[in-house]
Amino acid sequence: MADIKSVEGMIDSTPIMKDYADIESSKLPEYQIDSKIPEGPIAEKWTNYKAHQKLVNPANKRNLDVIVVGTGLAGASAASTLAELGFNVYNFCIQDSPRRAHSIAAQGGINAAKDYQNDGDSVYRLFYDTVKGGDFRSREANVYRLAEVSNNIIDQCVQQGVPFAREYGGLLANRSFGGAQVSRTFYAKGQTGQQLLLGAYASLNRQIEKGQVRSFNRREMLDVVIIDGRARGIIVRNLVTGELERYAAHAVVLATGGYGRTFFLSTNAMGCNGSAAIQAFRKGAYLSNLAFTQIHPTCIPVHGEDQSKLTLMSESLRNDGRIWVPKKKEDAEAIRAGKKKPTDIPDEDRDFYLERRYPAFGNLCPRDIASRAAKERCDAGYGVGTGNAVYLDFKYAIDRLGADVVRDRYGNLFDMYQMISDDNPYETPMMIFPASHYTMGGIWVDYELQTSIKGLFAIGECNFSDHGANRLGASALMQGLADGYFVLPYTLQNYLSDQIKVSRSTFDTKHPEFDEAEKGVRDRIARLMAIKGTKSPDQIHKKLGHIMWNLVGMGRTLQSLVKAIEELKEVRKEFYTDLRIVGSADDLNTELEKALRLEDFLVMARMMAIDALHRNESCGAHFREEYQTPDGEAKRDDEHYMYVSCWKYTGDDEKPILLKEPLKYEAIQVQTRNYKS
Amino acid sequence: MENTISVNLKVWRQRGPKEPGQFVNYHLDNVSTGSSFLEMLDMLNQQLVDQNEEPVVFDNDCREGICGMCSLYINGHPHGPVQGITTCQLHMRKFHDGETITIEPWRSAAFPVIRDLAVNRNAFDQIQQAGGYVSFNCGGAPDANATPISKEVADVAMDSATCIGCGACVAACKNGSAMLFVSAKVSQFALLPQGQVERKRRARAMVKKMDELGFGNCTNTGACAAECPKNIPLSNIARLNREFIKAKCAD
């Protein structure tokens, strides 16, 4: 195994990758990837697919069962829509109600190519912006379909009674988000995710009332059951009683969100986890592009060691707020020492670094670029607060529009900021700093959103497909709802059409595969309970978070990644020898829940580092410091890395096998991302 | 500037819905005033785990005031003494050094205790399932701009839709009434054109379910609106009463 010293000065990981993974076998015929992209011009692919796919007739739908794990935008919309079609749906969530899934916390908005503002938007332009924003590492056909169905989502949500913001004339209002030069974002105050989720929850409730969806709350999936090569069920732990339960179905859909909490501190909710993805991984599903983790530029900075999570300030604030740090280092030092206030710095001594570096997009450049630019200024010694913060200033907006207009647009966000920081953003600039927010990588799926395991589907943030190396703002809500309302309900039928003759008795929960899966979970829990060490799961998770943030965060190097993999081994060792879980396994036990998730985060963390190490280029949110242009921009290597990395599991400590899905761009000319002119 | 304080905690501990509960006293030092209330409870739980004791169970998730998962009756107020926020948005700078803080679960017949400070709020889901939706299938919606809605109406509907379903209204009410919760959803749909077709059926069905589930009656004391972390106004209850009476008259 390579050590830190032996890799000093290296920038290309290829010679040492054999110590970490099998990257050679990707050429073998059995490791070729079929992404099932339909033939034809890009604009006709989805239409053609729908016209020729297999369907299930209404009488047969009632004989087919589908498990949907998760009740966020993707899960709730899929569960309700599949039930509307007539399938029997079993829907699971870890919260006490489906309405609380973390989609609810999305603030700013949802994109759609409606072109209601007559500002030149179109399906093509939304598609183009999304592919470009993702730095040409997403699958073209999926993104085009996403842009295509985006308009249906807005229609669907308005009909559900989602109270989007409106103009005085009664029509829908729009605003701008990063990476776009049009106003295509629909919003409901700073609570768009909440309103969209409550819309999906309402549709879900209608189906629960009808008995078409059976809803299971406070249940956590702990394994997926495979029978004869197909996903046929799940093992869940009832979080109230501690009992293990079995559920069988013709197909299993994962809608379980991202793995952003690998960093411990993130904008994700406390319960967000990557466990379902790891369970699927262990059973043979590929994990893709794990290095692509989004660090959001506008979060409230860390205050201390006892902090449990970070709070996002919506990207919409960048519509009217201007980001700056002092131009002079001595001013930054004086501010950090408490001798000067930001309002003491005259305009000419303020460095509006985003406007300076990216004049065409200014404060609205994409998230990865804004985050790195903030880090660059702070690393250079111009940071404020603790040194790891920059200003987001509304003085100019208040001068231009008046405090009332600003309050109307952002009032609730300002209140939230004041609550947390004790500063009044109407009078003094907000302090912000980047934080882990979203994961573009995830479970590999084909065009039909099916994983590499037959009958196992993945939708929403937990799959990898649409955002490439960087997601644009207001596109996560779009993707979650596109997958759930308009894509999966079609593609799942193509899979289920030949399952109508498969009777439930061929895979019911009495099958030995269920016994074996349940025993596996039981043994795993017993192993963790038996460690009886001294450290709580949170204590170990914080250590993991520090390693990931410092070594696999916004700026990565070959050396930092090798170091991370070595340090992760130590944390794993500590986990397996010194973990303490108080209480009992057969009972409500929040410490056990955390420990099980942490065990999976440790596997995810190693895979993230390996993926980042193998990709010798910078693209989107994956910034390998060795690969940058003279002015500090990401330098892609399209010749060698224009592919989706797909990792195949061989063991928690074993070397994973790399498979490659090549990316072909037919409708878009590949170019270097430019937000400067 | 942040500093640290010591606090004494009186925490309600209860193994299960049928078991008796009691207050247990704890002392906690070095709590940063910049920490949130739930981070303070994380510290308490770490202290308990260090002593090999079971941590205090409390519901929480997003920790930014929107998921509605957190609850807690703090010093006699749902979501604590500061108005217009949830427990997870409450910060320790609102407490003074040496203060004794009393922490209890929501107390309502309709929300049985699961353990310690966590309660079962499934009754809220059941009320929503009874009619908190517009009945149509995905795919059938007309263009989003086909029906203009005045900004004023949309804004009022949004204010009602802001309810996070946390249950503070029920916990605050001496009768354990769910009227503010139900009225917020009924109002949102009663105001919007999409909700008109099922307006009467919805009001009837949601009120019927609410009564079935053991929530108390409304006596217009207004504690619900005063304690609501999202400032859902009492006028929603007036609207629900109108909607319900109109629906009944139509029968």
Summarize pLDDT for A262-276 with one digit per residue, the tens. Answer: 999 999 999 999 999
Burial letters A457-480, b for 16+ CB under 10 A, else e: bbbbbbbbbbbbbbbbbbbbbbbb
CATH number of A297-436: 3.90.700.10
Residues B140 and B103 in one domain: no
Specify the CATH architecture of the domain A5-13+511-640+651-662. Up-down Bundle (1.20)
Cα–Cα distance between A250 and A87 in angstroms, integer? 10
**Those residues with Cβ within 8 angstroms of residue B251's Cβ, 6 or more apart along the chain or in another chain:** none
Question: Residue A81: its chain B contacts at CB < 8 A?
Answer: 137-138
Residues B134 and B110 in one domain: no
Q: What is the CA radius of gyration of chain A?
A: 24
Q: Contact, A242 vs A589, CB < 8 A?
A: yes
The β-bridge partners of A480 are none
B129–A contact, CB cutoff 8 A = yes
A588–B contact, CB cutoff 8 A = yes
Residues B104 and B145 in one domain: no
pLDDT at site A190: 84
**DSSP 8-state class, residue A656:** P
The β-bridge partners of A65 are A88
DSSP E strands, A95-167: 110-111
A117–B contact, CB cutoff 8 A = no
Does the pTM surpass 0.95? The reply is yes
pLDDT at site B148: 98
What residue of A is the nearest CA neighbor of B143? A155
Q: Contact, A295 vs A368, CB < 8 A?
A: yes
B164–A contact, CB cutoff 8 A = yes
Q: Among residues A217, A318, A232, which one has the least CA distance to residue A503?
A: A232
Residues B126 and B96 in one domain: no
Cα–Cα distance between B25 and B233 in angstroms, integer? 36
pLDDT at site A1: 58
Helix intervals (H) in A214-347: 275-282, 329-336
Place of tokens 């087919």: A64
Question: In the listed set B114, B138, B168, which residue is the last one of a domain according to the structure?
Answer: B114
B133–A contact, CB cutoff 8 A = yes
Residues B236 and B132 in one domain: yes
Cβ distance B134 to A159 less than 8 Å, yes or no, reads yes
Residues B97 and B169 in one domain: no
The β-bridge partners of A216 are A92
Cα–Cα distance between A310 and A437 in angstroms, integer? 9
> 3-state class of A376 per DSSP?
helix
Cβ distance B122 to A96 less than 8 Å, yes or no, reads yes
Question: Residue B164: its chain A contacts at CB < 8 A?
Answer: 194
The upper half-sphere exposure of residue A80, i.e. CA atoms within 13 Å in the direction of its Cβ, equals 33
A153–B contact, CB cutoff 8 A = no
Check which CATH number belongs to the domain holding B149 and give it: 1.10.1060.10
The one-letter amino acid code at B84 reads G
Cβ distance A194 to B164 less than 8 Å, yes or no, reads yes
The dihedral over CA atoms of A22, A26, A29, A32, expressed in degrees to the nearest 10, equals 130
Residues B79 and B144 in one domain: no
Write out the two tokens for B116: 């310690």
In chain A, residues 39-68 whose CB comes closer than 8 Å to chain B: none
Cα–Cα distance between A450 and B181 in angstroms, integer? 39
Cβ distance A215 to B192 less than 8 Å, yes or no, reads no
Residues B20 and B90 in one domain: yes
| pLDDT string in tens for chain B (251-residue length) | 468 999 999 999 999 999 999 999 999 999 999 999 999 999 999 999 999 999 999 999 999 999 999 999 999 999 999 999 999 999 999 999 999 999 999 999 999 999 999 999 999 999 999 999 999 999 999 999 999 999 999 999 999 999 999 999 999 999 999 999 999 999 999 999 999 999 999 999 999 999 999 999 999 999 999 999 999 999 999 999 999 999 999 88
B141–A contact, CB cutoff 8 A = yes
Marked catalytic residue, from A184, A367, A606, A673:
A367
Q: Among residues B100, B83, B101, B88, which one has the least CA distance to residue B62?
A: B88
Q: Contact, B32 vs B4, CB < 8 A?
A: yes
In chain B, residues 89-118 whose CB comes closer than 8 Å to chain A: 89, 91, 93, 114-115, 118
Of A156, A189, A419, the CB nearest to B138: A156
Question: Residue B189: its chain A contacts at CB < 8 A?
Answer: 161
Residues B217 and B170 in one domain: yes
**Those residues with Cβ within 8 angstroms of residue A59's Cβ, 6 or more apart along the chain or in another chain:** none
Place of tokens 């506008």: A298
Q: Which backbone phi and psi does A221 adopt, to 5 degrees?
A: -70, 130
Handedness of CA B31, B32, B37, B42 (dihedral sign): negative
Q: What range defines the domain where residue B175 resides?
A: 121-250
User: For residue range A243-264, what is the model confidence (pLDDT) as tens digits?
Assistant: 999 999 999 999 999 999 999 9
Cβ distance A303 to B35 less than 8 Å, yes or no, reads yes
Q: Among residues A613, A623, A622, A617, which one has the least CA distance to residue A636?
A: A617
Q: Which helix (H) or strand (E) holds A489?
A: helix A488-496
Residues B128 and B197 in one domain: yes
Question: In the listed set B114, B137, B156, which residue is the last one of a domain according to the structure?
Answer: B114
Selected for mutation to probe chain A from B60, B62, B147 (highest A CB count within 10 Å) is: B62
Q: Which helix (H) or strand (E) holds B246?
A: helix B235-250
Residues B193 and B78 in one domain: no
B165–A contact, CB cutoff 8 A = yes
pLDDT at site A2: 65
Name the stretches of chain A with pLDDT < 70. Answer: 1-2
Q: Among residues A295, A290, A179, which one has the least CA distance to residue A555?
A: A295
Handedness of CA A256, A71, A465, A11 (dihedral sign): negative
User: How many domains does chain B contain in total?
Assistant: 2
Q: Which backbone phi and psi does A339 adopt, to 5 degrees?
A: -85, -20
Let me know if A318 is a catalytic residue: no
Q: Contact, A463 vs A447, CB < 8 A?
A: no
Check which CATH number belongs to the domain holding B79 and give it: 3.10.20.30
**Those residues with Cβ within 8 angstroms of residue B196's Cβ, 6 or more apart along the chain or in another chain:** none
Place of tokens 């189906």: A207
Of B61, B150, B161, the CB nearest to A271: B61
**Those residues with Cβ within 8 angstroms of residue A420's Cβ, 6 or more apart along the chain or in another chain:** A300, A311, B36, B89, B91
Cα–Cα distance between B104 and B123 in angstroms, integer? 20
Cβ distance B158 to A588 less than 8 Å, yes or no, reads no
Write out the two tokens for A82: 């599949």
What are the residue boundaries of the structural domains of chain A, listed by start? 5-13+511-640+651-662, 297-436
Place of tokens 């003094």: A428
Residues B110 and B24 in one domain: yes
Cα–Cα distance between A206 and A193 in angstroms, integer? 20
Cα–Cα distance between B106 and B113 in angstroms, integer? 8
What residue of A is the nearest CA neighbor of B130? A209
Cα–Cα distance between A514 and A80 in angstroms, integer? 27
Question: Residue B230: its chain A contacts at CB < 8 A?
Answer: none
The β-bridge partners of A622 are A619
Write out the two tokens for A365: 């450049």
Q: What is the 3-state secondary structure (H, E, C) of A181-212?
A: CCCCEECCCCCHHHHHHHHHHHHHHHHHHHCC
Q: Is the ipTM of this complex over 0.95?
A: yes
pLDDT at site A409: 83
- Classify strands A251-254 and A65-69 as parallel, antiparallel or unpaired: parallel
